[in-house]
Chain A
Amino acid sequence: MHVEPSSVAALTADPPTPRRGRTLIVLVLVLAISWSFTLLPRGSLPRWLGELPRDLQLPFARWLRAFMSWLVEDAALGPLAFRDLTRGIAWLMTWPLRAAESLLVTGIETGAGSAAVAWTAPVSWVALIALMAWLAHRAGDRRLVALVTLAFLYLAVFGQWRSAMVTLSSIIVAVPFAVGVGLALGIKAVRSVRAERLIKPVLDLMQTVPVFAYLVPILILFGFGPVSAMLATIVYAMPPMVRVTMLALRQVPPEFVEFGRMAGCTERQLLWKVQLPTARPALMVGVNQVIMLSLNMVIIASMIGAGGLGYDVLTALRRLDIGAGLEAGLAITVLAIALDRLSQASAGRPANTAGRRADRVLWGLVLLALASMVLGHLLPWLAHYPDAFRISTAPFWSDLVAWLNVNFFDQLEAFKTFMLVHLLVPVKRLLLAQPWPWLTMLLAWLGWHLGGWRLALTVALAALFIVTSGQWANAMTTVYLCGVSVLVATLIGLPIGIAAGLDPRVWRIVQPVIDTLQTLPSFVYLIPVVMLFRVGDFAAMIAIVLYALAPAIRYARHGVARTPAELVEAGTAAGCTRRQILTRIRLPLAVPEILLGLNQTIMLALSMLVITALVGTRDLGQEVYIALTKADVGLGLVAGLCVAAIAIIADRLIAAASLRTRRRLGLEG
């Protein structure tokens, strides 16, 4: 089976009905008006249509700065100053982190600095690899064992062990915290409607405000250092756990709860003995997400004091050390893939199937690991992978990139220029020419059309927030970069997704690739892109497209593959050709699914956008990033909230469109 390119277009080229005709006219009209703005000579429109003058803006940034300084200087809970409270939390969090680092990085020490006395070595690389391999064996098949073992061996052999262990220590502390807090909040939200009403919007905001924006407040409240980095990681990684917990508990079939009640469970017993165990597989999905998001934060967290692989990448990137950056980036990737597959396999494994023998082996290995700490003190090769056998690929990567740049400079440059001239620049000009009242009105109208006045209001308020905070031009730059990237990602992703949906063989090839793409921390994408295309909008676009491609493919495939078999059979029985089955049956039914994919693509693109600020884009992301370097809470949060506002507009509109299509197709009542 193959996909003709025209089949995608055929979806929109259904026989025109009067309503469709009207929609088309409106669309053309709107585009024409928007286009006409770019034709106006510069300065012919009043300036306030481009950006609200300063004295009409609402000083959100100043308010936030004032609030923050009040929080730090004056706020108190009873006798306890707020600042002392945060410092106290930071101090408490130091201990588990220090314990984990003692085990994995430094060995048990007393004293500090140069006066430190080491009593043991850290857990030996040999013991840790054995332990990991055993966990893989318990959770999955031989392939998983091989993958996990090779991944950790890679870290040792390529000289990334110590940094990786620093990273791993912060992850093994952050993940249980994030999971615990997320679980508690999720349970609370399921049990009380009031709590849910409070938690849900906060979650929405936390997931749409870019990470950089809340690094600054954390930095101010908790100081620079690994603990702050860990707290930021927890804040970043927790929201999906809350959502997954809510979903998982709600999905427990009511019979289980009824059974628990009839058995005479108290509320607590019901939760711990019936609901949570029954929801375990779904909850494990949440744990997996927390792990992956923590890893995603590794590089960003190093901006506020985390060491380890993230720090290595960041410093390498700053001094444009291609080889070292790639090497450390690869190490993060390898760690991420290993932990992802391992936690996924544990999630899929039914509970309690491992026997007592397996537990004994596990404890044996843990004892072995502890013994290796003592032994490592005597045998250096056991404590640290011997330097003599270390391999460094850094020179190789540096040479490779240099070679590519020397030999393909013209082609790369031509491609870049072509895209800039024909796609990026025109879209940018179009968007920057739009006066805000026109676009706000357009969005509100769209909201009203898709979901009624409530949606129209939400959308208009979000847009007005951007206007009044004086970030309109920056926001338009963000929309332009995000929009172009999403367009390219969709143009690439949709045909691949459809092909994979029609042919399982294609999917078997595509799936591992996008699985891996989704496992990679967002930062890693920047490294090769910057090396080939240097800094600028084009490099940013490529990185965003790579990062946001996966959901476009995944949802399109899911939508196409999931067409009910009887509908396809009905089509075949009615004498449809394969192509007709695709264009008349599968694609129309897949539209809601494709829209959800589009939504995800936009969300990922927005989150990546902020990170691309590092390669010199000039949008909201850059504002957030500048705020971070200046430790400016107000500016950072306001710019961050503007990104959130864009995300909310896109999310609500697309969700409404998807719901409308689902209703029209009779997939939902």
Chain B
Amino acid sequence: MTDRPTKLACRNVWKVFGSGAERLLREDSAPAPEALAERGLVPAVVACDLAIAEGEIFVIMGLSGSGKSTLVRCLSRLVEPTIGEILFEDRDLLRMPMAELIELRRHKMGMVFQHFALLPHLSVLGNVAFPLEIQGIARGKREARAREMIELVGLAGREDHFPRELSGGQQQRVGIARSLAVGPELWFLDEPFSALDPLIRREMQNEFLRLQKLLHKTIVFITHDFDEAVRLADRIAIMQGGRVVQVGTAEELVLHPATDYVAAFTADAPRAKILSAGAVMRPPDPNESFAGEVEAAERVAAIARKVEAASGPLAVIEAGRVVGAVDRDIVMGVLVGRRTD
């Protein structure tokens, strides 16, 4: 991930509700929570630093009230942060004149909403074409593009339906098609699947991964569901009380939780699907004989059967060299949730 250029970054972003918040933060760049409470100020986002790489699926995860929704609205400047910088390709969104921001949103950003936010008076086609209509693109051209998008999300044939005539999953497909209509580089998804039934949610997650394989957007994805984060994310940021408490891959979070809060979150995570062979292996004995080999990056869940079927331990290979060994004992340990540390 780190070798790709940064697409979106934020530096020391604060969002504090209440009057006089800005003055306080200008005087004291890191006020204590008590100092805020004393003045009747409510912090929603606290000292946020993030860097999101191009083409990355970056998941911001936290429980309700953790500030994740406010943070994503700060990143898109739907909410004006109290202080801080939001850098989109090295340009500060917060200093940008409104006209320029509107241009940027029209061409480079798309957003999907939890409750779909489909305009009730427009058909599916009208909704998907809406962002193009706003730009003043001629009807024929924008509708052709909208049809393409509707096809892409698998709703071809429903162009003339109205949102209220569609199921929740279908409505969110429309929301996705609409957000992609302008061909954005940066794609915000604010709990897009949280309002859907579990089965539909899974289907939509797969659909989302399929689309991302085709489109390679830079994605900021908000969720409160750790399993969803694990399935989708390249990296996950965990938020608590307005702060980003840890950023890392799912594996890093599970193996090295920065706080008890993160540890509690990851406690029930499907470790076999998160941890790789390289993360759970033991050092090889100098003259051990192996019954086979696995790649260090492979997930435990993926090698479990192979290990079970093998007569002895398997070698863990990274860059063509043996770096460690896994055996039944280790795999069992991961599967039953035994801690390795």
Contact = CB atoms under 8 A, between A and B. Distances in A.
Interface of A: 253, 255-256, 258-259, 261-266, 269, 273-274, 277-278, 280, 350-353
Interface string B291-320: 000000000000000000000000000000
Q: Which 10 residue pairs are nearest across A and B when measured between Cβ atoms?
A: A264-B106, A255-B117, A264-B105, A263-B131, A262-B111, A259-B117, A351-B121, A277-B121, A255-B113, A264-B102
B184 to A, nearest CB: 9
B180 to A, nearest CB: 12
A256 B130 contact: no
A262 B190 CA distance: 12
B121 A264 contact: no
Given A264-B131, A278-B119, A258 B113 contact: yes
Contacts of A277: 119-122
B134 A262 contact: no
A350 B164 contact: yes
B105 A261 contact: yes
B134 A269 contact: yes
Interface in B117-146: 117, 119-123, 130-131, 133-135
Nearest to A255: B117
B109 interface: yes
Given A253-B115, A258-B113, A273-B134, A263 B120 contact: no
Contact of B113 (A259, A274, A350, A351): A259
Contacts of A265: 102, 134
Contacts of A352: 121-123, 162
A278 B134 contact: no
B205 interface: no
A262 B76 contact: yes
B117 A253 contact: yes
B177 to A, nearest CB: 13
B134 A256 contact: no
Interface of B: 73, 76, 78, 102-107, 109-111, 113-117, 119-123, 130-131, 133-135, 162, 164, 179, 188
Contacts of B130: 263, 273
Contacts of B135: 264
A351 B122 CA distance: 9
B149 to A, nearest CB: 14
A255 B120 CA distance: 13
A278 B120 contact: yes
A278 B131 contact: no
Contacts of B121: 277-278, 280, 350-352
A262 B102 contact: no
B114 A262 contact: no
B102 A258 contact: no
A255 B78 CA distance: 10
A277 B119 CA distance: 8
Contacts of B116: 255
17 contacts: A255-B115, A258-B111, A258-B113, A258-B117, A262-B78, A262-B105, A262-B179, A263-B105, A264-B104, A264-B135, A266-B102, A273-B133, A277-B120, A277-B121, A350-B121, A352-B123, A353-B162
Nearest to B73: A258
Nearest to B77: A261
A200 B113 CA distance: 34
A255 B133 CA distance: 19
A262 B109 CA distance: 7
Nearest to A353: B162
A352 B164 CA distance: 13
Given A253-B115, A352-B123, 5 more contacts: A253-B117, A256-B117, A262-B105, A273-B130, A273-B133
B103 A264 contact: yes
Nearest to B111: A262
Nearest to B120: A278
A259 B174 CA distance: 13
A619 B264 CA distance: 73
A273 B76 CA distance: 21
B325 to A, nearest CB: 51
A265 B136 CA distance: 11
Given A262-B78, A263-B131, A350 B111 contact: no
A253 B195 CA distance: 15
A353 B120 CA distance: 11
A29 B123 CA distance: 66
Contact of A256 (B78, B107, B119, B164): B119
A661 to B, nearest CB: 28
Contacts of B78: 258, 261-262
Q: Which of A256, A259, A350 has the most CB of B within 10 A?
A: A259
Contacts of B164: 350
Contacts of A258: 73, 78, 111, 113, 117
Contacts of B133: 273
A344 B119 CA distance: 22
A512 B188 CA distance: 50
A296 B111 CA distance: 48
A560 B76 CA distance: 46
Nearest to A277: B121
A36 to B, nearest CB: 50
Contact of B110 (A256, A262, A280): A262
Contact of A263 (B103, B106, B162): B106
A350 B162 contact: yes
A259 B111 contact: yes
Contacts of A278: 119-121
B126 to A, nearest CB: 9
Contacts of B73: 258
A258 B114 CA distance: 12
A528 to B, nearest CB: 44
Contacts of A273: 130, 133-134
A257 to B, nearest CB: 9
Contact of B188 (A262, A264, A351): A262
Contacts of B115: 253, 255
Q: Which of A255, A261, A263, A273 has the most CB of B within 10 A?
A: A263
A378 to B, nearest CB: 44
A554 to B, nearest CB: 28
A212 B313 CA distance: 98
A352 to B, nearest CB: 6
Contacts of B113: 255, 258-259
B75 to A, nearest CB: 11
A596 to B, nearest CB: 29
Contacts of B104: 264
A318 B133 CA distance: 60
A428 B42 CA distance: 55
Contacts of A351: 120-121
A258 B179 CA distance: 12
B98 to A, nearest CB: 9
A264 B111 CA distance: 11
A260 to B, nearest CB: 8
Contacts of B123: 352
Contacts of A262: 76, 78, 105, 109-111, 179, 188
Contacts of B119: 256, 274, 277-278
A351 B162 CA distance: 10
A264 B120 contact: no
A583 B3 CA distance: 71
Q: Which of B111, B133, B179 has the most CB of A within 10 A?
A: B111
A264 B100 CA distance: 10
A350 B115 CA distance: 19
A352 B165 CA distance: 13
Contacts of B110: 262
Nearest to B104: A264
Nearest to B175: A259
B237 to A, nearest CB: 21
A258 B73 CA distance: 9
A262 B113 CA distance: 11
